Amino acid sequence: MKTYGGRAVADSERAEHTTGGVYSVPGQSFERDSRYITTRVTRGGESGYAVESGRYRLIAARACPWANRTLIVRRLLGLEDVIPAGMPGPTHDADSWTFDLDEGGVDPVLKIHRLKDAYLKRDPDYPLGITVPALVDTRDGAVVTNDFAQMTLDFSTEWVEHHREGAPDLYPEHLREEMDPLMRYIYTEINNGVYRCGFAGSQSAYDEAYARLFDALDTISDRLETRRFLMGDTITEADVRLFTTLVRFDAVYHGHFKTNRSKLSEMPVLWAYARDLFQTPGFGDTIDFQQIKSHYYEVHTDINPSGIVPAGPDNSGWLSEHGREALGGRPFGEGTPPGPVAPGEEVRPEGRADA
């Protein structure tokens, strides 16, 4: 029996957990498998993994909202050269994410085709989902952690000595008492709320999930009416976490997950807020709409058996004026925007909003 995320996992439990770390039981509400490898990379290296430039490889698929968070935070903080990234293709099978976009289908650094191989390096009997993002130690090719929520907080707090000059403080200490419960609310009600709708196992479960999701979106919309960002005048980790769900809303969740009370583009405050972030360096330049659609519509065959990927929607609206400057504030506070996207990490032309 192994222990992950503070809970013992018996061999008999393995079949419940998919590559994406989620599962749904017919007739029941959706649940997310929230057990992760919780080892941390810290300045002091207490767990055996110390902060070290170039030692770790971030494996983060653009299609995945949880992985997208790490790509945004890494870019905002200027950690691209310090924590190099590998990006699997947008689809995966029941076994593993794979490096379909790389030459020969092999990650050029880890020399593996399946991300699963890095998990098995950590534990030959690894029982849980093969998820992204994953931080891999290039010394032995083994996964260090896939705890996405802690990973980005550690990028902000443990990797400070490697931040670029002018990097924003995404997790300000004086705001954490208010931020932490807000981020938990965003996770349970919105980030996970769309999945609760999409994978509901019954009509009643869906109806409850739908009501919870839109109640939360309305609550957050009210909060953002008078403040430019969730915590006030500057961007924080809370905005990153909300953004990755909002940017997928019309392209995927509205139709695929049946979250169709309103499109994001029909919710004025949230739509303007999301466009403000999208047009901020570090956010929209990590988004590949084509990969996002390919992932959800091709992988979730239980929801979309045909595997047909819709041609729409028109994403050019993401580049339209948002007017949020009228609320004041500065996205990076006393800091500065990140520089150009790192070579080789540019979003493919067919995935951009102006495609």
User: How far is Cα 1 from Cα 230, in angstroms, rounded to an integer?
Assistant: 42
Taking Cα atoms as reference points, which of 186, 188, 315, 303 lies closest to residue 255? 303
Which residues pair with residue 9 across a beta bridge?
2
Is the distance from CB of 162 to CB of 82 less than 8 angstroms? yes
Is the distance from CB of 71 to CB of 62 less than 8 angstroms? yes
Does 195 qualify as catalytic in the annotation? yes
* Both structure tokens of 208: 């409850």
Is the distance from CB of 287 to CB of 62 less than 8 angstroms? yes
User: Catalytic one among 56, 126, 195, 206?
Assistant: 195
User: Catalytic one among 64, 210, 296, 297?
Assistant: 64
The H or E element spanning position 32 is strand 31-32
The H or E element spanning position 206 is helix 203-224
97 labelled ligand-binding? yes
Is the distance from CB of 278 to CB of 318 less than 8 angstroms? yes
Is the distance from CB of 35 to CB of 5 less than 8 angstroms? yes
Residues 6+ apart with CB under 8 A from 150: 38, 40
User: How far is Cα 111 from Cα 34, in angstroms, rounded to an integer?
Assistant: 28
The helix-helix angle for 237-246 and 268-278 (nearest 10°) equals: 110
| Phi and psi angles of residue 144, each rounded to the nearest 5 degrees, phi first | -90, -50
Is the distance from CB of 62 to CB of 90 less than 8 angstroms? yes
Which residues pair with residue 58 across a beta bridge?
85, 135
User: How far is Cα 221 from Cα 151, in angstroms, rounded to an integer?
Assistant: 27
CA 328 to chain centre: 28
Secondary structure class of 34 (helix, strand, coil): coil
Does 253 qualify as catalytic in the annotation? no
The H or E element spanning position 214 is helix 203-224
Residue numbers belonging to the annotated binding site:
97
Residue numbers belonging to the annotated binding site for glutathione:
97
Active site residues: 64, 195
